[in-house]
Amino acid sequence: SVGVARQYCGQTGKTDNCRVAVSLSLATDSNSLPLAYQLYLPAEWTDDPKRCAEAGVPASVGFLTKNQIAAAQIRAAVAAKVPRGV
């Protein structure tokens, strides 16, 4: 599966073979709405063009840290004038 690597897995609370995604949601007192969701690809994936090609990952996809992905999601939400939640 694309992105599977030995890394910290939030669901298990430990390092394991798993996929990780970075997401952004807008929340109010009563609801939550997902705004962005992106699969995190570890460097061991992005540094291996053959592996990425075989898995259908576009050659243009490069390594980004989880923080970089999250910051881009927040910038996009601000640029789209998404109202703040709680």
In a domain, 13, yes or no: no
User: What pLDDT does residue 86 have?
Assistant: 62
In a domain, 15, yes or no: no
**Could you list the residue range(s) of the whole structural domain that residue 26 is in?**
21-79
pTM: 0.88
In a domain, 27, yes or no: yes
* Long-range contacts of the stretch 4-7 (C-beta < 8 A, 24+): 5/42, 5/44, 5/45, 7/42
Nearest to 39 by CA among 65, 19, 14, 13: 19
∠ CA 54-14-26, rounded to 5°: 80
In a domain, 68, yes or no: yes
Q: pLDDT, tens digit, for every residue of 10-64?
A: 889 999 999 999 999 999 889 999 999 999 999 999 999 999 999 999 999 999 9
In a domain, 4, yes or no: no
Instruction: With beta carbons less than 8 A apart as the criterion, state whether 26 and 32 touch.
Output: yes
In a domain, 7, yes or no: no
What is the number of structural domains in the chain? 1
